[in-house]
Amino acid sequence: MRHFYRCADCLSVVATETKIQPVQVPPSYFYSFGECGACGGAIEYMGEVHRDHLIRTALRVPCDGRCTGATGPSCDCRCGGKNHGSNRLVEVVVETGKLPRLMAPPDAAAKGEAYRQLLERIRSAHRAAGLLS
């Protein structure tokens, strides 16, 4: 299978034959799939190729809160009682869209740097206003 990744800063798209295992970046709960070779930005997972679109798995509530959070015996949703009152998350397949076009822009490094500078200016303004620590 082919897996697609995108740089969050310069928006360059790359593909791999094997899925990259993410690592947790301390001190937050952010999971990193690597660093962009063009601009140094963070890489995000887009999905796995499935025919003509991308899919990925995610942990989600299988039904809505009325079903999984139910305390009574009556279930009217599509699960037919399978998830009723379970309060659980299950792995589901999420379709993430059509396959991306692979175009690595020659100005990827400049775009990534411009994005990070703009983001830092916004953070500085928030810190000055006392909105961000």
Write the pLDDT tens digit of every residue in 69-91.
Answer: 787 787 778 777 887 888 776 67
For residue 61, is pLDDT > 90?
A: no
At residue 89, the pLDDT reads: 67
What band does 99 get if pLDDT is binned at 50, 70 and 90? Answer: low
For residue 117, is pLDDT > 90?
A: yes
Distances (CA, A) of 59 to 74, 77, 91, 95: 25, 19, 5, 14
Token pair belonging to 103: 């175009």
At residue 90, the pLDDT reads: 67
For residue 17, is pLDDT > 70?
A: yes
Chain mean pLDDT for the chain = 81
What band does 52 get if pLDDT is binned at 50, 70 and 90? Answer: confident
CA 7, 27, 122, 110 torsion: positive or negative? Answer: negative
Greater model confidence, 90 or 123:
123
CA 133, 120, 96, 109 torsion: positive or negative? Answer: negative
Token pair belonging to 4: 């697609």
For residue 103, is pLDDT > 70?
A: no
Greater model confidence, 85 or 98:
85
CA dist., res. 33 & res. 47, Å (int): 12
* Residues facing residue 119 across a β-bridge: none
For residue 129, is pLDDT > 70?
A: yes
Determine if residue 80 is left, alpha or beta; phi over 0 gives left, psi from -120 to 50 gives alpha, anything else beta: left
Residue carrying structure tokens 């799939």: 33
Poorest-pLDDT segment among 16-20, 43-47, 55-59: 55-59
Q: What angle do CA 17, 57, 98 make, to 5 degrees?
A: 65
